[in-house]
Amino acid sequence: AYTPVGLLAHQAAGRSSDWFKQTLYEADPHYPPLGSAVTRRWHYTPAYNVACIEDQLWDETRYGYNVNDQVVTAQFGGPRACDEQFVYDAGQNLHYHKRVPERLSEDLRQTYHTQQAGRVIQHGACTYRYDENGRRTEKTEQRWGYRPRTWRYRWDAHDRLTGVISPEG
């Protein structure tokens, strides 16, 4: 069912009982059909951005936005609870993304990536380099207690990958 302005209000799936069919037929946008296997409801901000998704299977997801209506936080509940944070550069491009699972110890909790000009330059323990044409030329993986591992990539004039040198040679 949809809100009066055409936004998705709720969805239900997974049952074929007469009771489910009847509540689906009546389709009240404020109440999802009863008796379904999966039920999901959407709530919106005054600017029509998704503020919250309630899901009977995956629990609740909440979103926060900046003044440009870009997602800056996402909080996921349920069995895979975690928080995500997003940071944007002056050009409103995604610059930094961090995911923090709730149930892990503090040293293992954070995974993130950083972008520059739309290219990932760091993701977790890996850093990336690019040539002037935007092609990845190097990936370096830092491993605690070990030497860094580096992959190098070669490209031809037609943007075709012509070679990869792995850490093993």
Please report which confidence band the pLDDT of residue 91 belongs to, taking 50, 70 and 90 as the band edges.
Answer: confident
Answer whether residue 65 shows pLDDT above 80. yes
- Contact (CB, 8 A) for 152 and 137: yes
Q: Which two tokens stand for residue 149?
A: 């591992």
What is the pLDDT at residue 141?
93
Looking at residue 13, its amino acid is A
pLDDT tens-digit series, residues 29-54: 555 555 566 788 999 999 999 999 99
Report the predicted TM-score, pTM, of the whole model to 2 decimal places: 0.58
